[in-house]
Structures are given as structure tokens and as C-alpha cells.
């Protein structure tokens, strides 16, 4: 009975945080960013198509769409919504009140994770729809795998940026950008075992398999070998669960200085 009451208390706390954060994000600035994340990939690809008079190969369009929607779009949204989860509360000096509430620390991480995933998906999925209408001849098929990649990307990077925000509360955005450029950007392209630790490698491998593009498949097979899609999906989901679990443990035991000048 006590365990059930504890679980109900955590669920209620997470729900309250998620509801409050969702309402608080409806500001002019964030809505403008949200609209930009929806429109930018479609506008860029449409403009490129017009300028090239439709002469860009399908392979190039697929990779451009993947980078703009699945990588850049999802990452930008999550850097804005997931990374400041703890740092924003510390800087506004509301953290002390959160820390005193039952399940307050863990609820902040899980509640803000849910909101970050929801907001990012609400921008990335419409963006994926717009892009899918512009590339390839199989619009519906392209849309299905593009949305699947967007979902996996959002779930994984939200957990990653949430963990970075918990560990480096003050400079979380800087660390997130640096990590993304070095690890998810450079390291993921290295044709060695080290690239397998990155989410980008897994997502790119799924793109190659699901798109059915023979040119991409031949290149990937030659450089990276072949791994079945279910393995990539399982690794991404396990990676997300692990990082989010670590974030909840760290936020539960870590002490945050309220004074801005001393915050970590």
C-alpha cells in the first residue's frame, strides 16, 4: 500500500510539473521558434529545388532532409526545451522550493522531459510532413520512416540534453552544443567502433535501411557494415532510458548552489 501511494505521488508530481511547464511555454518567443522549426526545413528544401530546377539527385535530398529535420531541427528544439531544465530553476532561485517537495527533483526532470519531447515532436512532425512531400516519389513511405526517425531522435536527444542539464546546470547549453558538434557530429562519422556510441550513427543507419536508396545502402555497407534495424531501435531506446535514469539519480543526490555566481 505504501509503495502504491509513493508511485501515485510521483506520477501526480510529474503530471503537475508537465502541466505547469506546458502552460508556461506558450510565450511569443517560444511560439515563434516553434513555427520557425516547422517551416525552415521545408522552405530550405523547396528553395533549393526551385533554384536547381529539380535537378538535385534523390540521394542528396534524402540526406539534406535527414540533417535538417531529424538532426538539426530536433536538436535545436531540445537544446531550448530540455537543456535548461534545472539551470532555469536554479537561476530563478525556485530550486530550493522544488527540492523541498516530495519527489520534487525527480518530477522536474521527468515532467520537463515530457514537455520537451512533446514540444519538439509537435514541431518536427509537421516539418517532416512538409519535407516528405518535396522529396522522392514515395511520399507516404518517406513520411512514415521520417516520422519514426524524428520520434527516436527526439526521445534520445531529450534524455541526453536533460542529463547534460542536470550535471552542468549553469553552462548546459554550451556543453550540449559542444557535445553535439564533437560527438554526434564528428565522431559519428568515423568508420570505427567508436561511432556506435552515438545516436547519430544509429539514426543514419536506420535512414539508409528504411529509405531503400541503393546508393546510400551500398556506401553504408562498404564503410560501416550492416546491422538490422531492430537492433538500432533497441539500442536507441535503451540509451534513452539509461540516460534519463542517470539524470534522475544525479538530480536526486546533487546539491545546487542557489547563488548564480556559484552555480555549477
What pTM did the predictor assign?
A: 0.89
Q: What is the pLDDT of residues 232-245, one digit of tens each?
A: 999 999 999 999 99
Give the C-alpha separation, 168 to 172, whole Å.
5
Confirm whether 18 is domain-assigned: yes
Q: What is the pLDDT of residues 92-127, one digit of tens each?
A: 777 777 877 878 889 999 999 999 999 999 999 999
Confirm whether 164 is domain-assigned: yes
Confirm whether 3 is domain-assigned: no
Q: What is the pLDDT of residues 171-197, one digit of tens each?
A: 889 999 999 999 999 998 888 888 889
Range of the domain at 98: 8-256
Confirm whether 251 is domain-assigned: yes
**Contacts of residue 69, Cβ cutoff 8 Å, sequence gap at least 6:** 41, 124, 127, 128, 131, 146, 150
Q: What is the pLDDT of residues 64-99, one digit of tens each?
A: 889 999 999 999 999 988 998 888 887 777 777 787
127, 42 Cβ separation under 8 angstroms: yes
Confirm whether 233 is domain-assigned: yes
532555469: which residue's cell?
88
**Contacts of residue 113, Cβ cutoff 8 Å, sequence gap at least 6:** 82, 85, 158, 159, 162, 244
Confirm whether 227 is domain-assigned: yes
| Number of domains present in the structure of the chain | 1
Confirm whether 262 is domain-assigned: no
Per the model's pLDDT, the better-predicted residue between 141 and 152 turns out to be 152
Task: Tell whether the model's pLDDT for residue 246 goes beyond 90.
Answer: yes
Confirm whether 149 is domain-assigned: yes
119, 81 Cβ separation under 8 angstroms: yes
Amino acid at each position: 500500500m505504501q509503495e502504491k501511494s509513493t508511485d501515485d505521488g510521483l506520477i501526480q508530481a510529474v503530471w503537475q510539473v508537465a502541466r505547469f511547464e506546458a502552460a508556461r511555454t506558450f510565450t511569443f518567443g517560444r511560439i515563434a521558434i516553434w513555427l520557425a522549426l516547422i517551416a525552415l526545413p521545408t522552405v530550405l528544401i523547396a528553395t533549393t529545388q526551385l533554384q536547381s530546377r529539380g535537378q538535385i539527385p534523390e540521394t542528396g535530398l534524402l540526406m539534406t532532409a535527414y540533417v535538417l529535420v531529424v538532426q538539426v531541427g530536433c536538436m535545436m528544439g531540445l537544446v531550448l526545451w530540455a537543456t535548461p531544465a534545472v539551470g532555469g530553476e536554479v537561476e530563478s532561485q525556485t530550486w530550493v522550493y522544488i527540492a523541498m517537495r516530495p519527489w520534487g527533483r525527480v518530477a522536474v526532470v521527468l515532467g520537463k522531459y515530457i514537455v520537451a519531447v512533446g514540444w519538439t515532436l509537435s514541431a518536427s512532425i509537421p516539418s517532416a510532413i512538409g519535407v516528405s512531400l518535396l522529396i522522392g516519389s514515395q511520399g507516404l513511405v518517406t513520411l512514415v520512416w521520417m516520422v519514426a526517425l524524428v520520434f527516436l531522435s527526439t526521445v534520445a536527444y531529450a534524455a541526453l540534453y536533460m542529463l547534460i542539464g542536470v550535471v552542468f546546470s549553469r553552462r548546459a547549453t554550451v556543453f550540449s552544443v559542444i557535445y553535439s558538434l564533437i560527438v554526434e557530429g564528428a565522431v559519428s562519422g568515423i568508420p570505427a567502433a567508436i561511432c556506435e556510441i552515438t545516436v547519430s550513427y544509429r539514426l543514419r543507419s536506420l535512414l539508409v535501411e528504411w529509405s531503400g536508396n541503393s546508393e546510400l545502402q551500398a556506401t553504408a555497407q562498404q564503410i560501416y557494415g550492416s546491422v538490422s534495424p531492430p537492433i538500432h531501435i533497441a539500442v536507441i531506446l535503451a540509451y534513452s532510458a539509461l540516460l534519463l535514469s542517470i539524470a534522475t539519480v544525479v538530480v536526486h543526490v546533487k546539491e545546487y548552489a542557489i547563488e548564480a555566481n556559484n552555480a555549477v
